[in-house]
């Protein structure tokens, strides 16, 4: 009988919270390297439609992640604590059920290692199972280990609210742990302490800029998947837009782009047929599926996005300025970092057609023959990371997996 040491290692790759394709795209690149080493993998995902599009064609097995009972709220979230409460941790019973489902999944699959991408409940369950784990994230999903800071300035009343929220979160997590035979935590920050953390970002773009001793391995993203679309040979400035169909202000953005003397290639997933006809113009080509960005990066002059982190990283590494149109706090924080670096601008709540035209013209230096300060800053950023290609962060994850499996 063969030794258990020689059996194929099983990796459980989890994605519990978040939207769009960025999380899965990152995890697939990690999984590809592990598959080449003969490892067995199961994905646990919160978006089965995304999994069907991205995982199924490559032959990866996947199941649905246990669901929390999320209650939509318009309240402004000031910390990661409040985010967890908003996505379902405020409901004690639902959290206990979700935790039990994660434990059942662990027991059924018997993984040797968990790779967790924005998967707090999977890591909460791992306080009981103690399976070796690696946490991947672009920053927002991995708050500092010593404390979970507020993400926006707050007043004295909001400070009390944050303290109450943190106490509620700790109580609810501990009750769930105890119900399933685990031990209570002393602080909410213990949630992520039983795993190795790898930040798939640049330090300058970290949502929490004041960390100590973090392992920044660089962003992991794919630019080569999808159909190949090329710029035309015109001398117009070239703008790539990646936004979602429900973005506030989208109509005004597209009208502004149509009026400018620029060439636009836009990816807008789930855009309706009516909107596709309305927004398509002689200078604007629109696609609803992922396209190959590798052929567009070299000659692009501006990225417009709601802040797909991998997309932002890819264009900044190429020296292309960015306009962020945030719809969530996470996206707003990326935009703040972009402005601090001087490589782009954030659109606020004022999203009229004129304000879009003005901001885009400013970023592109339309009508001028000199580089804008944004273009110069983006070029400096690209020069700083010219040697940081996709091989490096994937190798870092592969090494971390090897070391963790052999601890």
DSSP string, 73-105: --SPP-SHHHHHIIIIIT-HHHHHHHHHHHHHH
Distance CA 267, CA 388 (A): 26
pLDDT of residue 156: 66
* 380 and 395 share one domain: no
pLDDT of residue 173: 98
* 119 and 257 share one domain: no
* 177 and 233 share one domain: no
Asked if residue 88 lies in contact with residue 98, where contact means CB atoms within 8 angstroms, the answer is yes
Distance CA 19, CA 132 (A): 26
* 110 and 178 share one domain: yes
User: CB under 8 Å to 71, separation ≥6 — which residues?
Assistant: 86, 88, 90, 91
* 157 and 101 share one domain: yes
Reported pTM: 0.90
Q: Along the 407 residues of the chain, how does pLDDT read in single tens digits?
A: 334 556 789 999 999 998 878 899 999 999 999 999 999 999 999 999 999 999 999 999 999 999 997 766 656 677 889 889 999 999 999 999 999 999 999 999 999 999 999 999 999 999 999 999 999 998 888 988 877 766 666 666 777 778 888 999 999 999 999 999 999 999 999 999 889 999 999 999 998 877 877 889 999 988 877 889 999 977 899 999 999 999 999 999 999 999 999 999 999 998 999 999 999 999 999 999 889 999 899 899 999 999 778 899 999 999 999 999 998 888 888 999 999 999 999 998 889 999 999 999 999 987 666 678 999 999 999 999 988 888 899 999 999 999 999 87
Q: Tell me how far apart the 2 most distant CA atoms of the chain are, in Å.
A: 75
DSSP 302: E
Total Cβ atoms within 10 A of residue 176 = 25
* 37 and 124 share one domain: yes
pLDDT of residue 3: 43
* 142 and 82 share one domain: yes
Query: Chain centroid to CA 94: how far?
Result: 25
User: In a 3-state reduction of DSSP, which class is residue 200?
Assistant: coil
* 232 and 207 share one domain: no
Give the range of the structural domain holding residue 270, as residue numbers without chain letter: 227-384
Tokens of 301: 């002059």
Which CATH number do you get for residue 311?
Answer: 3.40.50.2000
Tokens of 74: 């318009």
pLDDT of residue 272: 95
Query: How many domains in the chain?
Result: 2
Query: Chain centroid to CA 164: how far?
Result: 28
Asked if residue 88 lies in contact with residue 69, where contact means CB atoms within 8 angstroms, the answer is yes
């Amino acid at each position: 009988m063969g030794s258990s040491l020689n059996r194929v290692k099983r990796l459980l790759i989890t994605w519990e919270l978040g939207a769009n394709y960025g999380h899965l795209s990152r995890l697939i690149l990690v999984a590809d390297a592990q598959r080449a080493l003969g490892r067995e993998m199961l994905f646990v995902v919160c978006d089965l439609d995304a999994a069907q599009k991205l995982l199924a064609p490559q032959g990866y097995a996947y199941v649905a992640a246990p669901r929390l009972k999320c209650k939509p709220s318009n309240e402004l979230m000031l910390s990661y604590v409040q985010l967890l409460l908003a996505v379902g941790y405020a409901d004690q019973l639902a959290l206990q059920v979700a935790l039990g489902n994660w434990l059942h999944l662990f027991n059924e699959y018997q993984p040797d290692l968990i790779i967790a991408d924005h998967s707090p409940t999977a890591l909460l369950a791992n306080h009981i199972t103690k399976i070796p784990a690696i946490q991947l994230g672009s920053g927002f999903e991995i708050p500092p280990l010593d404390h979970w800071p507020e993400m926006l300035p707050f007043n004295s009343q909001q400070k009390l609210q944050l303290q109450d929220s943190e106490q509620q979160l700790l109580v609810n997590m501990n009750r769930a742990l105890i119900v399933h035979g685990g031990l209570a935590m002393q602080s909410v920050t213990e949630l992520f302490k039983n795993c190795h953390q790898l930040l798939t970002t640049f330090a300058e773009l970290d949502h929490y800029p004041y960390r100590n001793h973090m392992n920044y391995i660089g962003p992991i993203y794919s630019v080569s998947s999808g159909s190949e679309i090329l710029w035309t040979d015109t001398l117009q400035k070239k703008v790539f837009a990646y936004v979602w169909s429900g973005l506030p202000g989208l109509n005004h953005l597209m009208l502004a782009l149509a009026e400018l003397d620029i060439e636009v290639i836009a990816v807008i997933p789930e855009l309706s047929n009516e909107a596709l006809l309305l927004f398509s113009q002689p200078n604007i080509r629109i696609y609803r599926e992922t396209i190959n960005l590798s052929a567009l990066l070299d000659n692009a002059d501006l990225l417009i996005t709601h802040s797909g982190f991998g997309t932002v990283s890819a264009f900044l590494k190429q020296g292309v300025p960015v306009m962020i149109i945030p719809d969530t706090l996470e996206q707003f924080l990326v935009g703040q970092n972009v402005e601090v670096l001087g490589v782009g601008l954030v659109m606020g709540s004022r999203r009229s057609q004129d304000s879009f035209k003005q901001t885009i013209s400013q970023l592109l230096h339309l009508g001028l023959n000199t580089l804008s300060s944004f273009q110069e800053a983006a070029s400096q950023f690209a020069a700083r990371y010219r040697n940081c290609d996709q091989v490096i962060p994937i190798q870092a994850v592969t090494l971390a997996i090897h070391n963790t499996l052999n601890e």
